[in-house]
Amino acid sequence: MDALDLARWQFGITTVYHFIFVPLTIGLTPLVAIMQTAWYRTGNERWLRLTKFFGKLMLINFAIGVATGIVQEFQFGMNWSEYSRFVGDVFGAPLAMEALAAFFVESTFLGLWIFGWDKLPKKIHLATIWLVAFATNLSAYFILAANSWMQHPVGAVYNPETGRAEMTDIVAVLTNSTLLSAFPHTISASLLTAGTFVAGIAGFWMVRTARAGKPEVARDVYRPAVVLGMIVMLVSGAGVAISGDSQAKLMFEQQPMKMASAEGLTESAPDGAEFSLLAFGDLTNDPESVTHVLAVPGLTSFLADGSFTSPLKGINELQEEYSATYGEGVDYVPNLAITYWSFRLMIGLGIGSAALALASLWFTRKGKIIDKPWFARLAIAAIFTPFLASSFGWIFTEMGRQPWVVAPNPTGVDGVWMLTATGVSSVVSAGTVLTSLVAFTLLYGVLAVLWWKLMKRYAMEGVSDSETDVSPDTNDSSDDRPMSFAY
C-alpha cells in the first residue's frame, strides 16, 4: 500500500473511532441539563441523583472524545498537507471558530459545572451546564460547516497565481445549504443516541430494582428517566427522518453520483428508480451482475426529488459526464459495496431505538413499571444501535464523496475542487504513515478498553441511594475550601 492508501486508512480509522463518542456528548449534555433543571424547579431529589449519575457518564465520554479528536487536527497538516495548502484559507476558518468560540466556552463552563456544586448558587450552576450544552452544539455547527464546505464548496474562488482556494464570503460558508441540512440531521441523530442511552440504562435498572423487590425505586427514580429518554427518542427520531429526507434531496442535486451509488444504480432509470432492501452480487468489481431483491418501486426517485417516477441518472452515464467535465482517466465512482450497505445499515439500525421506544411507551403507560428480563436485554441491546447507525452514516457521507476530497459544486464555483489523490502529502513516506497508523490504532484500542470499563463500571453502580444539596443556597458554611471534584 502506498502513502495515499495508508493515509486514507489512518484518517478513516481515527475519524470513525472519534465519532463514536461525539453523538453521545452532543445529545447527553442537554439531557443532563434538563435533569438538573427538573431538580432546580421541583426540588425532587431523584432528579439530582439522575443528574449526578448520567453526568458522570457524560464526563467520561467527553474526556475520551476530546483525547481522540485532537489527532484529527494534526492529520490535516501532516498526512494531508497538500489538501491543507489548497483549502486552508477556507477550511481553517470554521475550525478556528470552533476552537475559540465553542470549545473554549464548553471546556470553561464544564469545569465550573464539575467543581462548582458547593461553590456556585443553584441558578448559576444550572446555567453552566446549559452553556456547555449550547457550546457543544455550536462546536458541532462549526465542524459541520467545514465538512459541508468539502461536500459543496461556496463562498470561495480559485486563485490561479497561488494555486489555492481563497475565501470571499464567510457568511456563505456558515449558511451553506449543505450545512443547514446536515446540522439538524446530526443533532437529531445525537439526541436519538443520547435518548436511547438514557432510556436503555434506566430501563435496565428499572427491571433490576423491580425484580430485587424495590418497586418504589424503579417507579420513582428509573421510570422518569425512561420516560424522558423515550420522549427524546420519539421527537428526535422524527427529526432524523425529516432532516434525512431533506439531505437526500439535496444530495441528489449536489452529488448525483453519491445518490446513484447508494442504490448501486449502474444504468439510468428514466421511469423512476427502485430502492432495493437486499442485493446479491459483486457491487465493486462487477456491478452489472448485481441482482436487487425485495425492492420498493420508485422509492430512490422519491428520496431524490419527491416523485416516484422521476428519472435518475445511472453510474455509467454520470461517469461519462464527470470525465467530460473534470478530466479523463479518473474513476469517479466510489466504492459501491461500501456506499450501498452503509446507507442501508444507517437506516436499518434505527430500528433498535424504535423498538425500545415503542416497548417503553407501552409498558410504562399509566405509571406502570416492568420487571421482565427480556425488556432489560432489549434496553441494553438498543443502546448500541444508534451509535452504529451514526458511524455508518458518516462512512456513507465520506466514502460516497470519493474520489473527491473537495467535491465540485455543479452550480458554479469554478476550480474549487480537489481529488483525494492530490490532497495527500508529497513528502510523508508510506513507512511514516504506517508507523503512525499502527501506533494510533493501538493507542485507540487501549482508550476503547478504558472507556468501556469506566462506562460499564459506573453504569453498573446505578443511581446513588441519596444526594445532598451542597450549594451555597442551602449551605451555611462559611469556610474557604477550594473547589473540589464533585464526583
Kindly report the average pLDDT of the chain as a whole number: 88
Res 412: pLDDT: 66
Per-residue model confidence as pLDDT tens digits over 339-348: 989 998 998 8
**Contact criterion met (CB below 8 Å) for 287 and 336:** yes
Q: What's the whole-number mean pLDDT along residues 406-413?
A: 82
Long-range contacts of 123-129 (CB under 8 A, 24+ apart): 123/40, 125/471, 126/33, 126/36, 126/37, 126/40, 129/29, 129/32, 129/33, 129/36
Cα dihedral sign for 58, 76, 2, 283?
positive
Res 61: pLDDT: 92
Res 286: pLDDT: 72
The Cα–Cα gap between 102 and 131 comes to: 10
Q: What's the whole-number mean pLDDT along residues 37-47?
A: 94
Res 414: pLDDT: 72
Q: Where are the domains of the chain?
A: 3-255+334-461, 256-321
Q: What's the whole-number mean pLDDT along residues 367-381?
A: 89
Q: What is the pTM of this model?
A: 0.91
Q: Is the pLDDT of residue 404 over 70?
A: yes
Q: What's the whole-number mean pLDDT along residues 245-272?
A: 88
pLDDT tier, 413 (very low <50, low <70, confident <90, very high otherwise)? confident
Helix (H) / strand (E) element for 7: namely helix 3-42
> Strand, helix or coil at 295?
strand
Res 259: pLDDT: 87
Cell 490532497, located at residue: 423
Per-residue model confidence as pLDDT tens digits over 144-167: 999 999 999 999 999 989 889 999
pLDDT tier, 484 (very low <50, low <70, confident <90, very high otherwise)? very low
Q: Which of 57, 128, 104, 105 is nearest to 487 (CA)?
A: 57
Per-residue model confidence as pLDDT tens digits over 119-132: 899 999 999 999 99
Res 478: pLDDT: 47
> Strand, helix or coil at 285?
coil
Q: What's the whole-number mean pLDDT along residues 28-55?
A: 95
Complete DSSP assignment for 121-172: -HHHHHHHHHHHHHHHHHHHHHHHHHHHHHHS--SEEEETTTTEEEES-HHH
**Contact criterion met (CB below 8 Å) for 72 and 14:** yes
Question: Cis ω on the peptide bond leading into residue 403 (within 30° of 0)?
Answer: yes
Neighbours of 331 (CB within 10 A): 10
More confident: 260 or 292? 260
Res 479: pLDDT: 52
The Cα–Cα gap between 33 and 39 comes to: 10
Per-residue model confidence as pLDDT tens digits over 64-88: 888 888 887 788 888 899 999 999 8
Q: Which of 158, 142, 159 is nearest to 102 (CA)?
A: 142
Q: Is the pLDDT of residue 371 over 80?
A: yes
Helix (H) / strand (E) element for 292: namely strand 291-296
More confident: 424 or 356? 424
